[in-house]
Amino acid sequence: MSKSERPSQLFRNLNAKIASIPMIFTALVIFVGGTVWTVFYSFTNSKLLPRLHFVGLDQYYRLWATPRWLISIENLLIYGVLSLVFSLVIGFLLAALLDQKIRFEDTFRTIFLYPFALSFIVTGLVWQWLLNPEFGIQGVVRSLGWTSFSFNPLYDSSIVIYGILIAALWQGTGLIMCLMLAGLRGIDEDIWKAARVDGIPTWKTYLFIIIPMMRPVFITTLVIVASNIVRVYDLVVAQTSGGPGIASEVPAKYVYDYMFFAQNLGQGFAASTMMLLSVIIVIVPWAYLEFGGKKRV
């Protein structure tokens, strides 16, 4: 209303506002500003430096005509689907095993989870060594007498992505197990008793009662795993550097290489915008289910 009221509104709760400046800066300048900037510049033909010469969707046409990008996407799809399925299944099975009132539960949990404390670089390098064709698992099995044994994912371009998957599952399933275990512990004991009374076998109880009840845990886990899949980068860099040839390239590496090595910023921006798009495709249905659903109820 009057002019004298305005400053008092602005300065009310001033300390909280000052304390929130980093958050506001991050949210608006980095997250919103940075994203809009990158998407905007993906329509330009920026090379070494960003510049405003618009070329429409050219970068995207070029992107989807580049074999390396197509291989990256294919790898991401294979890796994504398999790591989703395997990490959920293995994570849940391990959690169910640990939930049987066993002894040394803490010891087992500590062992299953420790790889998660290690970086993807360390994980990738260890598995590069274990899968070394000469000295690693293949070499050892051959030296035991089975000379035709062949397990050489890192140097075979048709299966290299599975070599990366093995390392990723080793590193990440412990986390899924922990989330699932927390979910299992959250289920009321009475449910189990009821299932016993009705004479339902344990596996059926898990499959038809417990898992449907753990829907929120599964959805959270799914979102976590999915958004990590899109970001997979360090593991590939450490384990294969994208090789052999370009057989294990992933989108995140494409973005980095085009921005900082190939000096083709426009391609990098277009590729990163595609990554953003894929995350949106995963997140939006989840957000709708999670938050849109509550409004209806």
Partner 1 sequence: MSDHAVSLPAIAGAGGLEAYGPSGPKPRHTFSRRNIFLYGTLIVVALYYLLPLYVMVVTSLKGMPEIRLGNIFSPPMEITFEPWVKAWSSACTGLNCDGLSRGFWNSVRITIPSVILSIALASVNGYALANWRFKGADTFFIILIVGAFIPYQVMIYPIVIILREVGLYGSLSGLVIVHSIFGMPILTLLFRNYFTSMPEELFRAARVDGAGFWGIYFRIMLPMSLPIFVVAIILQVTGIWNDFLFGVVYTRPDTYPMTVQLNNIVNSVQGVKEYNVNMAATILTGLVPLIVYFLSGKLFVRGIAAGAVKG
Which residues 3-32 are close enough to bind partner 1 by CB under 8 A?
Answer: 12-13, 15-17, 19-20, 22-24, 26-32
Alpha-helical runs (H) found in the chain = 5-11, 14-19, 21-25, 34-41, 58-63, 67-98, 105-117, 120-130, 137-143, 160-185, 189-197, 202-205, 211-213, 215-231, 234-239, 251-260, 265-287, 293-296
Minimum CB–partner distance for residue 255 and partner 1 (Å): 4
- What is the footprint of partner 1 within residues 52-91 (CB under 8 A)? none
Task: Sketch the per residue contact string, 151 through 180, with partner 1: x for CB under 8 A, - otherwise.
Answer: -------------------x---xx--xx-
Residue 54: strand pairing partners: 44
Binding mask 182-221 for partner 1 (x = CB under 8 A): x-----xxxxxxx-xxx----------x----------x-
Which among 229, 234, 241, 236 is positioned nearest to 279, based on CA atoms?
229
For position 234 contacting partner 1 by CB under 8 A, the verdict is yes
**Of 161 and 167, which CB lies nearer to partner 1 in the complex structure?**
167
**Residue number, 23 or 297, with CB nearest to partner 1:** 23
Residues 263-282 interacting with partner 1 (rule: CB under 8 A): 265, 268-269, 271-273, 275-276, 279
For the bound state, the minimum distance from the C-beta of residue 70 to partner 1, rounded and expressed in Å, comes to 18
154 sits in the region (left: phi over 0; alpha: psi -120 to 50; else beta) called alpha
- As a whole number of angstroms, the distance between CA 289 and CA 35 comes to 25
What is the smallest separation between the CB atom of 1 and partner 1, expressed in angstroms?
17
